[in-house]
Chains A and B, each alone.
Chain A
């Protein structure tokens, strides 16, 4: 098994008295796609922002270890972290409509990132921008490079943002719900694009999403988060075909099926997401609640398929 590219262990992020991420551990191998799933407020976005050192809320406390290519990112100085951001780890965000500075051309913004990390001429940076736009499927990139963000549609902007993220050939791409703000056809195109780019560039991808469909399309490994903790982790096939945590069951049940009888209402998970407390964060909403749930279960299991649940082994298979 190759060395992990990114290894996060016991990451904790607290805002005042509120714990957003509570002891999260995971790793990403080179070239692998990790899908991070969970509902809003499960801590998936904030944990990735924490990895990149992008949390700037005053009073936020971040602890744990984030080792990327042998260096602990949380211990790096600002300037050292800047050299990694955008060059070795790139991030794309949910809403492409607001992710680009409105007053500069697309090409200028891509060139800016290139020139922030590499000593190249303006001309060369612009040429690179044209090449990248072409690569992400923007028609007539020689002209489009001089267009402003407001002249692009949502899907085109997300392509431009992806082109920008790939401009320095990052080893790791963190995509925070890159398809959520787009319509379904565009979603499929963007996922296609990400898959193709991964093959071409060999970047590892962390795909944050609440859409099980997206995960099933693109992920190699899946990390299910709830209440700031990892509740299940495993390969895509394992998590989709033999899910072991009641929360994952709920998530998978709430996806409409193509085959089988048509249900009048999709099943839902009762209650609303709560914050990480003393016990298992999912206990309040869980139909399988045990007395042991007052204490948080550790993430454990065999052969790379882990879950955090006190249920006896034989009851974890359905």
Chain B
């Protein structure tokens, strides 16, 4: 098991290295683009350009450029934004991470509880009215786009009913944990629910299918023949095996969301997270920021996948020796 974990994280480091090389090449070895001009910022004077060129080694071979770039990114942290000259990229990302993490972790807890709960209920109550009802609810969640649902939620909680039922809802934006857990959670409550609804629907549908398959497996019949209770068969045998694919999907979704895929939710609810940062950078073609956020996103996706694979091996003994 320990050997497996080490191997898995070794592979993750290799993947990260490959991604950083790829990102570097896309941004700095694309023909027709002067990377120095992109990094020096809007309307930079020739002196600054020359200084950037020297500092990033753009007159030297590509491998040297790569190493210098990584040094600016990870060691000296002094890459600056193209649009707002003087704004450092890395601290900007570091400031945005807690917002995104708060949003995604909270939503993940909600969607896992809801999704597993609904999926198990529907799978176990198959053949009764509960199953189609729960699944209808799931489809409902899947079909509501975040940008629409979020705006409707804002319309109701911030405007239409803000005077009466929803007077306790704080204005849009983020409240850091330093202002107290209560304020933090209150600001994030509706973003959490909005983001979680979509994923809860997907997970519930997936788990229901897995569970129904598992309940038809021979080992469930064996478990019944052993004289176990239906609840134990459902939870310890069928659900336990059905959760394996759910966990791997969760890792992918979680990594992608922390990496910036919660962009729509962040923009709609005015949360200054990584997604919003990427969104703004893309609008201005702010190359240094884009590069920073892409590498950051890749880091989280790869890390989440490595963690999931380790978890997967915990859940499924058949994977361990593979």
Binding site for A on B (CB under 8 A): 127, 217-219, 221-230, 232, 236-237, 240-241, 244, 315-318
Contacts and interface: CB of A to CB of B under 8 A. Distances in A.
Contact of A86 (B227, B244, B315): B227
A52 B315 CA distance: 32
A262 to B, nearest CB: 39
A84 B222 CA distance: 14
Contacts of A113: 226-228
12 contacts: A78-B230, A85-B225, A86-B227, A93-B225, A99-B219, A101-B222, A101-B240, A102-B241, A103-B316, A103-B317, A113-B228, A116-B232
B219 to A, nearest CB: 4
A309 B75 CA distance: 92
A164 interface: yes
A150 B236 CA distance: 18
Given A90-B225, A113-B227, A116-B232, 5 more contacts: A86-B225, A91-B225, A93-B218, A93-B222, A116-B229
A95 interface: yes
Contacts, number: 72
Residue of A78, A83, A112, A117 with most partner-chain B CB within 10 A? A112
Contact residues of B: prevailing secondary structure: helix
A95 to B, nearest CB: 6
B218 A102 contact: no
Interface string A61-102: 000000000000000001000111111001101010011111
Nearest first, the 5 closest Cβ-Cβ pairs linking A and B are A86-B227, A85-B227, A98-B218, A86-B226, A91-B225
A116 B228 contact: yes
Contacts of B225: 52, 54, 85-86, 90-91, 93
A148 interface: yes
A150 B317 contact: yes
B219 A87 contact: no
Nearest to B214: A101
Contacts of B240: 101, 103
B227 A117 contact: yes
A207 B236 CA distance: 30
B226 A112 contact: yes
Contact of B218 (A83, A90, A99, A116): A99
